[in-house]
Structures are given as C-alpha cells and as structure tokens.
Chain A
Amino acid sequence: MKVKVLYFAALREQLGTSGEEVELPSGVATVAALRSHLRSRGGAWQLALAESKLVRTAVNQDMAQPSAAITAGDEVAFFPPVTGG
C-alpha cells in the first residue's frame, strides 16, 4: 500500500525533499503511525519529526489529527504550524 507524502516549509528543508511515495508496512494505518515509521529512518527524520516537535498534518488536503486513518493512494502532508496572513 502506497501513499504520497508531502513536506512543506521548515520540514521540507530539514528533510531535503518536498515529497515522496512511501510504501506503508502492514500495521501503519494512521497519520501518527506513518510519522513514527518515517522517524524510524533516523537522522534528520528522527529530529524533524520528533514527538516534541509541533508538526501539523493533512490527509487529502484537509487538516487531520494524528489518529486520522490513511489508505492506499492518500496524499499525506507534514508541515509546521501555519504562519500566513
């Protein structure tokens, strides 16, 4: 099961990528689980997505809570709290 993952702003810079296709291991079915899976890559991933960091998420372009479900083909975005206006 694959999902499209996007990164914005400071996260994009820290991770050195604006997005990727991620193959989800079985059992990874929520935003929180995906974040934890990405963090397990270590290095910049572990730092930028650390639990202590304020990271907002969206699923299919709607703001989503960590408990939100994700399924094949979803677009999941990780980004810092927004600062527009």
Chain B
Amino acid sequence: MKVSVQAQDFDAGAEMRALSCDPKVGAVASFIGVVREVGMTLEHYPGMTERALHKIVQEARSRWKVMDCTVIHRYGALKPTDQIVLVAVASAHREDAFAACEFIMDYLKTQAPFWKKEAAGWVEARASDDKAAERWK
C-alpha cells in the first residue's frame, strides 16, 4: 500500500505496472484526476492528510479484497491538464478493484484535508461530493 502527498508529478503507467507485478493480481482499476480549465493552488494539512488517506485505504481493504493500492495526491501550484490525483487498486477480479477505487476517491473528496484555490478564490465544497460518499455508508 502506497500513499504519497507530493508536489511533483507522477508516472501513472509506472505506478500501475508496479501494482500488477504479483501474478495473483488479475485486475488493476485506476482513477486520475486532472486540472480542468483553470489553474489552481492546492493546500493540504501536512501529517493529517497522509493519515486521512491511510485511514481511507484501510477502510477500503476492510470492505473489498484489495491486494495492493497506490494513492498519490499533489499539492502546490497546478495548471490546466496537470494530473492532481491517482488512485489505483489491484485485486484478483475487477469487481473489487472498481468498487474500492471508487470508494477511495469518494472518501478522499470529503475526508482528506485538501483545499483548492483558483484565481477567483477558494473552491466551494459541493453537496454532490457528500452525496457520493454517503452511498457507501
């Protein structure tokens, strides 16, 4: 299980290949969040952010058969088309990999302390994100 909160970009292909080294892995599901339209600066809470991501990954492992998992989230100044976040989950079969990946992303959106600021100001939290997280309760 790998959790990284970092300023630098990541190589999603390399990260996903690393998850499929184990011959027992039959599925790797992934999500990449990308900066859309306008640049932004991402602030986080050093220490708590990593801790929150680890807790979300643990929760996913308790619900699905997750063999390995990588969560990378960037902070700092990002411009349109930059990658923001990678969630990749390895499992024996696709059902567990898809579900765990979606769950981790939904929880990350509402539980992990990150805040986006665009030129127009701080981005407001969206009720639809709370709803997305609620359905896993």
Chain B contact residues, majority secondary structure: mixed
A81 to B116, CA, bound (A): 11
Given contacts A9-B122, A62-B51, A85-B105, contact A79 B45 (CB under 8 A): yes
Q: Point out the residues of chain B lying under 8 angstroms from A62, CB to CB.
A: 48, 51
Q: B51 to chain A: which residues have CB within 8 Å?
A: 61-62
Query: Are A8's CB and B105's CB within 8 A?
Result: no
Q: Is A10 an interface residue, CB under 8 A from the partner? A: yes
Which residues of chain B (88-132) have a CB below 8 Å from chain A?
Answer: 105, 108-117, 122-126
Interface size on B, residues (CB 8 A): 28
Task: Mark A residues whose CB is within 8 Å of B.
Answer: 6, 8-10, 54, 58, 61-63, 77, 79-85
User: Residues on B close to A: CB < 8 A?
Assistant: 33, 42-45, 47-48, 51-52, 73, 84-85, 105, 108-117, 122-126
A-B contact pairs, 22 of them (CB 8 A): A6-B45, A8-B43, A9-B43, A9-B122, A10-B122, A54-B125, A58-B113, A61-B45, A61-B52, A62-B48, A63-B111, A79-B115, A82-B109, A82-B112, A82-B115, A83-B115, A83-B122, A83-B126, A84-B73, A84-B109, A85-B84, A85-B105
